[in-house]
């Protein structure tokens, strides 16, 4: 994911600033830790390799949903939505595993 550092905004695209890239990286790591501990090194692997991991695939889905559902796209808003989505997925997985 390190190579994909573009922030899409309505009608504009720009490179992420250093602070934004760090905030996004932190949110990705937090979200991934919520989904499955110990797979953070996959964040630096090629995307095709990473998406072979169920946790990374869920992280990608959480990121896509965060971008699609966030009206005001600031890095803080996006990062929080990403972590919230991962927590919701983790909770749903736990509930399913418990037969709820």
pLDDT at 4 over 60: no
Over residues 44-65, the mean pLDDT reads 82
Give the pLDDT band (50/70/90) at residue 40.
Answer: low
CA 3 to chain CA centroid, Å, is 14
Does the pTM exceed 0.75? no
Is residue 1 within 8 Å of residue 24, measured between CB atoms?
Answer: no
DSSP 45: S
């Amino acid at each position: 994911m390190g190579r994909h550092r573009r922030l899409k905004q309505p009608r504009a695209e720009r490179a992420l600033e250093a602070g934004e890239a760090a905030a996004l990286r932190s949110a990705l790591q937090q979200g991934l830790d919520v989904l499955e501990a110990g797979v953070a090194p996959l964040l630096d692997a090629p995307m095709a390799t990473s998406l072979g991991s169920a946790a990374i695939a869920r992280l990608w889905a959480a990121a896509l949903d965060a971008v699609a559902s966030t009206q005001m796209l600031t890095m803080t808003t996006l990062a929080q939505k990403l972590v919230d989505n991962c927590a919701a997925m983790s909770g749903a997985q736990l509930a399913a595993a418990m037969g709820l």
